[in-house]
Amino acid sequence: MLMIRKAGRGARVSLAAAGLAAGLAAPLLALAAPAGAATGPAQSSAGQTGYVATGAQFRDVRGMIFGRNGAGFAATQAGIGGSVSLWAGGGRGTVVLLGISTGTGSAHEPWSPGISVYKDHKLIASQNDASVNGQTCTAGVCTPGDSANWPDQQQYRLELFYNRTAGNVEFHATASNGDSYSGFYHVGGGLSFGQARVTTDFGNTPFDSAGYLAAPSAIKLYLTWSRAGLTSYSGHRAGLNSWWVHSPLDLVDAAGGAMPGSLFNGGTAFRTALIP
């Protein structure tokens, strides 16, 4: 039986003081936050770490995540990955999540994207369901469904866009060579996506950490996001730290802890770390 412990707010540590290479909180290039940028208090998540934006209606969330060799995390996790997501109606409402992940059982396993839609914490649609209208394009040849398996050691771009006219959330996952997995899910018009997340993930859903098997013995660099951005319903495009509120998400109630470092590159990038 997995021993669960709570990494509460009081357990928050200084990633800069941990002395990780490249420094999670001391990047080489740190641009000033835009005027009016609002930082909220840290929030807890049972399955994710990263950043959550609130205080606006978001029609688009996007970013690029670097695919590391999953075998380097075999001692702590069954798999590694990250996602972008749009949330309407609070945590028990509609959640549309586009993620990408890999296993840790052997060296350089491929990374695979996937789409998931939740309502009241229940999965109602996922990749290969007809309702997500998905297709995989490889070297210019497109086939229905999700058959994407991409090599590690590259950047993957993920994006969700709420087309309010059609009532669809469109999704696009793209590898560095242009291969892609894309489609759309009909959520209906009139939804208010009041929360957007850019995260690294630990479970089968954004609400669990089932894949986090054991805490690391020391703070360990996890995954890195870059070119993260949001677009509001009014058309305002920016990084995570604009006039909307951005808050760090700390993983809790898992086998180990996880937290994001400070935003850098104008609020478009951040690193995450596993903590004991």
Output the pLDDT for position 91. 72
- The DSSP letter of residue 132 is G
Output the pLDDT for position 15. 53
Helix locations, the chain, DSSP H: none
Q: Where are the domains of the chain?
A: 34-275
pLDDT per position as a tens digit, 59-74: 999 999 999 999 999 9
Terminal-to-terminal C-alpha distance of the chain:
19
Low-confidence spans in the chain with pLDDT less than 50: 1-14, 16-33, 35
CATH superfamily, domain at 34-275: Peptidase G1 (2.60.120.700)
What's the pTM? 0.90
Burial of 253 (0-12, 13-18, 19+ CB in 10 A): middle
Output the pLDDT for position 90. 79
Output the pLDDT for position 4. 25
pLDDT per position as a tens digit, 113-127: 999 999 999 999 999
**87 vs 94: CA distance, rounded Å:** 6
